[in-house]
Amino acid sequence: MAPNATVYKAELQVTDLDRHYYASHDLILAQHPSETAERLMARLLAFALHADERLAFGRGLSDEDEPALWQRDYTGEIERWIELGQPDESRLRKAAGRARQVVVVGYSGNAAEVWWKKNEALLSRMRTLTVIDLPAEGVEAATGLLARSMRLTAMIQDGELQLMDAERSIALRPLVRIAPAAQAV
């Protein structure tokens, strides 16, 4: 954890009807001093979309050798490497050499669109890569649920994610730009 990081605790109940995954996760999110609230919530949304008992937050901004999230199998091998934003193509190639699956979760609207257009040809060659974009307005709305201690429910059905607390609910539909043929996001 970075010095002066702000710590958020989230009890996240995930009901993923698309993947038939149902579990509760007690999460600790350390917000690096240079991390925005939108990026923090994008990490939480990425966790909800890929939830698994072995999915964990990386050190992210404080360690360039780790992704925002990753999932290891029981032998310690990296199954899934999840990056946020617009990572460099060389970073993704390096991740593909270390993990069975690489996922990029964009969350910044027009900047994500520009990044995709610039990198689409190169990234389309990566067989294990998934690129999804979270709508910027949905991520911004999700920041309204941000609190030092959160109890949230994430329900995923037919590709739509609903994130709810006791009083509010936001819905967003991630755009899948590219995914391996036999893989569900």
pTM of the model: 0.93
Examine the pLDDT at 57 and tell me if it is beyond 60: yes
Token code pair at residue 169? 């609910």
Closest Cα to residue 185, out of 127, 104, 86, 118?
104
Examine the pLDDT at 60 and tell me if it is beyond 90: no
Question: CATH: 3.40.50.720, 3.10.640.10, 3.40.50.620, 3.40.50.300. Which one for 6-178?
Answer: 3.10.640.10
Question: For residue 101, what are the β-bridge partners?
Answer: 80
What's the rounded mean pLDDT across residues 126-151?
Answer: 96
Examine the pLDDT at 184 and tell me if it is beyond 50: no
Q: In this predicted structure, what is the pLDDT of residue 64?
A: 74
Q: In this predicted structure, what is the pLDDT of residue 109?
A: 85
What's the rounded mean pLDDT across residues 62-74?
Answer: 87
Q: In this predicted structure, what is the pLDDT of residue 2?
A: 52
Token code pair at residue 5? 């990081």
Residue 3: pLDDT band with limits 50, 70, 90: low
**Which residues have C-beta within 8 Å of that of residue 181, sequence separation ≥ 6?**
none
Q: Between 151 and 59, where is the model more confident?
A: 151
Token code pair at residue 146? 């941000």
Q: What stretches of the chain adopt beta strand conformation (E)?
A: 6-16, 21-31, 55-57, 69-72, 78-84, 99-106, 129-133, 149-157, 160-164, 169-172, 175-178
Closest Cα to residue 54, out of 74, 30, 31?
74
Q: How many CA atoms lie within 13 A of 10 on its CB side?
A: 27
Measured distance CA(53)–CA(23) in Å, rounded: 8
Q: In this predicted structure, what is the pLDDT of residue 146?
A: 96
Cβ-based neighbour number of residue 108 at 10 Å: 20
Q: What is the mean pLDDT of the chain?
A: 92
Examine the pLDDT at 182 and tell me if it is beyond 60: no
What's the rounded mean pLDDT across residues 47-53?
Answer: 98
Name the residue type at position 185: V
Q: In this predicted structure, what is the pLDDT of residue 65?
A: 79
pLDDT digits (tens, 9 = 90+) for 109-128: 899 999 999 999 999 999 99
Percent of the chain with pLDDT over 70: 94
CA dihedral 59→62→63→66, nearest 10 degrees, is: 30
